[in-house]
Amino acid sequence: MSVIIDRRNLGTRATANQDRLQRRVRGRVKAAVERLARQRSLNDMLDTAQPIAIPTKDLHEPSFRRDLRDAAWEQVLPGNKRFRRGDRILKPNENGDGDGTAGRDGVGAQTGLGDDEIAIVLSAEEFLAVLFEGLELPNLRQTRTEDIQVEQWRRAGFVKEGSPSRMHIGRTMRTARARRLALRSRKRQELEALLKQLAVLEEEIRIRHGHGEDTSIERFRLSEIQDEIKGLERKIKAIPFIDESDLRFAHIEQQPRPVTSAVIFCVMDVSGSMGDIEKDLAKRFFLLLYLFIHRQYRAVEIVFIKHHGEASECTEQEFFGAKEGGGTLVSPALGLAEEIMTERFPPEHWNVYLAQASDGDNAQDDNHAVRERVLGLLPHLRNMFYLEVNQDQESALLRLYKDVAGEFPELMTARARRTEDIYPLFRALFAPRPGGIHA
């Protein structure tokens, strides 16, 4: 009969329940992260020091309990000199007095976490992982396999240490069998050799005894061989069925996976009609896009273009810190993007995306030029995103884009009036689904 001894050092229960706990609270964490993304300012986007409250009821494990309503029961409270049977005991307050002001019927804390909540603090990497979960650059196609790499969880063989929940039973049993065969093989060969010697020696003793000769030396040797056989049999039986060295755990790790080459043009209106609210909404959208690209993809090229009456390519710092004025002309920005695309990022070798944010206050006589520019760009773009900020009604520019989107579903449009609108619209634009989106 084989006896399996569990020699795994499990440590605390938290080690074994880590995966279960993450699955249980993931929905709560995701909702809290999305709420923070909608409410936080640009400067606080990556400040994850503020704890996320998780109700403790999500952490309770199911267990069997006796239903006290269906049976009579008594309980003795030692040290009681104040109460008798039937008295109602008030709940203690924060000072320990039994005035009944604390608890569910009392006044709760005005700030901080309640009694039924715990706090979880995420790192910046964990915050972004939850924030951009399930998003991707839409319509990404194979052009040439170089430059871009995305991190993807893949199986990476087996390791000797890991979480008990990831223990691979098949590989563990296979390793244990190989170890048992290796350790028993030499001993079994020695045992077979001794058994042959024992058989020969017994036959020799039988013959010598039949001739009346002395067999004391042979019998002494026979006793030694029998002792050696018993020792080898004990050693063979002592080899454990499973040893700690046999344990194997499935291992996964993030590995770079080459995808294809891609570039995204970020075009932002910095004209005088873009007030502080409009610029904050536009910068929030582009900041999410910037973090998303750098979090999900390793080497996507990003080109920053700002425009008012004129358009110019700028650095990342100039783009997010832009404070300019003047009139609004959109066509020069689209023309500059087309020029840069033709010279540096030919569409036959690159996946080209364009994201534009504006208040839609474009010069009326420029809309015709914008239409021609967009119709010339869209056949070469994988997708184009247009975000109109802080407008009570659709602008002529947005209506123009929506009209073009009827012919080119790659053009996606959205409107945002408040800070809370940006993140849901961002998820809608970069959700992995075909077709255009008009929000």
Q: In which band, very low, low, confident or very high, does the pLDDT at 63 lie, cut at 50, 70 and 90?
A: low
pLDDT at position 288: 85
Coil, strand, or helix at residue 154? strand
Mean pLDDT to the nearest integer, 218-244: 88
Mean pLDDT to the nearest integer, 322-346: 87
Higher pLDDT, 78 or 389: 389
Strands 149-159 and 311-314: unpaired
Q: In which band, very low, low, confident or very high, does the pLDDT at 439 lie, cut at 50, 70 and 90?
A: very low
Mean pLDDT to the nearest integer, 314-324: 81
pLDDT at position 184: 87
Higher pLDDT, 49 or 351: 351
Q: State the average pLDDT for the chain.
A: 77
Higher pLDDT, 211 or 85: 211
Percent of residues, the chain, with pLDDT higher than 90 = 14
Residues 261-429: name the CATH superfamily: von Willebrand factor, type A domain (3.40.50.410)
Q: In which band, very low, low, confident or very high, does the pLDDT at 28 lie, cut at 50, 70 and 90?
A: confident
Q: In which band, very low, low, confident or very high, does the pLDDT at 126 lie, cut at 50, 70 and 90?
A: confident
pLDDT at position 79: 65
Percent of residues, the chain, with pLDDT higher than 70 = 70
Q: In which band, very low, low, confident or very high, does the pLDDT at 434 lie, cut at 50, 70 and 90?
A: low
Q: Check whether 346 has a pLDDT greater than 80.
A: yes
CA distance 280 to 273: 13
Strands 262-269 and 301-307: parallel
DSSP line for 341-374: HHHH--TTTSEEEEEEEE-S---GGGHHHHHHHH
Q: Which amino acid is at 120?
A: I
pLDDT at position 438: 42
Which among 304, 307, 275, 279 has a CA at the least distance from the CA of 289?
304
Kindly report, residue by residue over 78-105, the tens digit of the pLDDT: 666 777 777 777 766 655 555 544 444 4
The beta-strand segments (E) located in 96-164 are 117-120, 149-159
Q: How crowded is residue 171: how many other Cβ atoms within 10 Å of its Cβ?
A: 16
Mean pLDDT to the nearest integer, 299-328: 84
- The burial class, CB within 10 Å (0-12 / 13-18 / 19+), for 334 is buried
pLDDT at position 423: 85
Mean pLDDT to the nearest integer, 411-420: 87
Higher pLDDT, 425 or 144: 425
pLDDT at position 110: 46
* Domain extent listing, the chain: 10-57+115-131, 169-246, 261-429
Coil, strand, or helix at residue 426? helix
| Sheet with 262-269, edge to edge strand ranges | 311-314, 301-307, 262-269, 351-358, 383-389, 411-416
Least confident span in 180-194, 332-346, 407-421, 424-438: 424-438
Q: How far is CA 106 from CA 209, 303, 362, in A?
A: 101, 57, 58
Kindly report, residue by residue over 374-388, the tens digit of the pLDDT: 999 999 998 899 999
Kindly report, residue by residue over 272-294, the tens digit of the pLDDT: 888 888 888 888 888 888 888 87
Q: In which band, very low, low, confident or very high, does the pLDDT at 41 lie, cut at 50, 70 and 90?
A: low
CA distance 177 to 2: 13
CA distance 354 to 54: 38
